[in-house]
Amino acid sequence: MTRTDGIHQLLVVNHGGREAVEFFALNDSEGSWQLEWKGCALPPEDPFINDVAGLSDGGFLVTHMWNKSQPFEAVVDQILAGVKTGWVWAWDPEAGFSKLAGSEEQMPNGIVVSKDNRSVFVNIYIGNKTIKLDRLSGELLGEFAVQQPDNITLDDHGQLWIASHKHNPIEQNCNNVEFGPCLLPFDIVRADPETMEAEVILSHNGTPMGYSTVALRVGDEIFMGSAHGDRVVSIDYFE
């Protein structure tokens, strides 16, 4: 994203040993684009963070799914009991971290902000829905149902794109897949951020890739990455 100060910023969630949001600046040096590491921010408490959305003022929002030190069996017990296991952390360059009002839910996953930074769209993985919040007040502005929504993107046409998992998240996983793609079924869902009306654009089960974690529209193509696997796939898309 390009911030209001003109810096091209890339934010990356780091799961390696520490849960952190890494800052990179994209610089054009003599006609060659290069990434320069600018530091990182570590959320407080016991975070298992997932997805990050940059804000135009240099801040960001990052989803906290559950407390990382908990055994997964304990997390499953909480989920089955209806406990809201996570929330969204908001980070400000001056004030640091604070919880985003209205964001406590069952396993918040993907997140994206509107172009004007006023609205926040959060995928609630176990809650099987995508919600729209006012970024400042936390007011719920809308929601729609979608099974196990993973990551979410906003394209240049103003449409939301969501990767939806179609398996049982407690009983099915890809732990035994050592090589090649995991072939769990998925949908790709497109939604209007104003009306919050959604429709399935693609349903897939089988090769060449499953378990899509994200869908990104670029021009007349939709690119999809996997939550577990060794490939990225694309399809043609024409409106």
Do 116 and 196 reside in the same domain of the chain? Answer: no
Residue 117 tokens read as 């930074």
Residue 21 sits in a domain whose CATH number is: 2.120.10.30
Do 134 and 190 reside in the same domain of the chain? Answer: no
Do 185 and 133 reside in the same domain of the chain? Answer: no
Confirm whether 190 is domain-assigned.
yes
Q: pLDDT per residue over 86-145, tens digit each?
A: 999 999 999 999 999 999 999 999 999 999 999 999 999 999 999 999 999 999 999 999
Q: Are 61 and 80 in contact (CB under 8 A)?
A: no
Do 120 and 17 reside in the same domain of the chain? Answer: yes
Give the torsion through C-alpha atoms of 145, 151, 156, 160, to 10 deg: 0
Contacts of 213 (CB under 8 A, 6+ apart): 150, 151, 163, 225, 226, 227
Do 140 and 54 reside in the same domain of the chain? Answer: yes
Find the mean pLDDT for residues 2-12: 89
Confirm whether 67 is domain-assigned.
yes
Mean pLDDT of the chain: 94
Q: Which domain holds residue 33?
A: 1-145
Confirm whether 165 is domain-assigned.
no
**How far does the chain reach from its first CA to its final CA, in angstroms?**
25
Whether the predicted pLDDT of 29 surpasses 80:
no
Do 104 and 24 reside in the same domain of the chain? Answer: yes
Residue 239 — pLDDT band, cuts 50, 70, 90?
Answer: confident
Do 124 and 7 reside in the same domain of the chain? Answer: yes
Confirm whether 33 is domain-assigned.
yes
| CA distance linking residue 188 with residue 182, whole number of Å | 17
Tell me, what amino acid is at 239?
Answer: E
Q: pLDDT per residue over 137-182, tens digit each?
A: 999 999 999 999 999 999 999 999 999 999 998 888 888 888 889 9
Confirm whether 162 is domain-assigned.
no
Confirm whether 163 is domain-assigned.
no
Count of structural domains within the chain: 2
